[in-house]
Amino acid sequence: MSTRRPRLEGICPFTEVARYYYPTRSTNAAARALRQYIESHKELQRELQETGYDHHTRELSPKQIAILKRRLDPAD
């Protein structure tokens, strides 16, 4: 049985995006892990901040999701 990851489309809750990248973790642990990842990669953090992201962001825009996908998704 294959497990398919949900698609990230439109505006998505931060927790949904975090669970996309950390599917085996609880919602809170996934959100913490993604925020820590963003904070430890300063160029990524700067790029997201230019779109309005900060540590308290609860929803990610399509542009912010595209930035994360470009950095985190494996090459096609």
Q: Give pLDDT, residue 1.
A: 42
Residues spanned by the domain of 52: 12-71
Q: Residue 76: inside a domain, yes or no? A: no
Residues of the chain with pLDDT below 50 are 1-2, 76
Q: Residue 45: inside a domain, yes or no? A: yes
Q: Residue 22: inside a domain, yes or no? A: yes
Q: Residue 7: inside a domain, yes or no? A: no
Q: Give pLDDT, residue 34.
A: 98
- Count how many domains the chain has: 1
Q: DSSP code of 59?
A: E
Strand pairing partners for 12? 60
Q: Give pLDDT, residue 2.
A: 43
Q: Residue 39: inside a domain, yes or no? A: yes
Q: Residue 5: inside a domain, yes or no? A: no
Q: Residue 62: inside a domain, yes or no? A: yes
Rounded (10°) CA dihedral 42, 33, 13, 63: 30
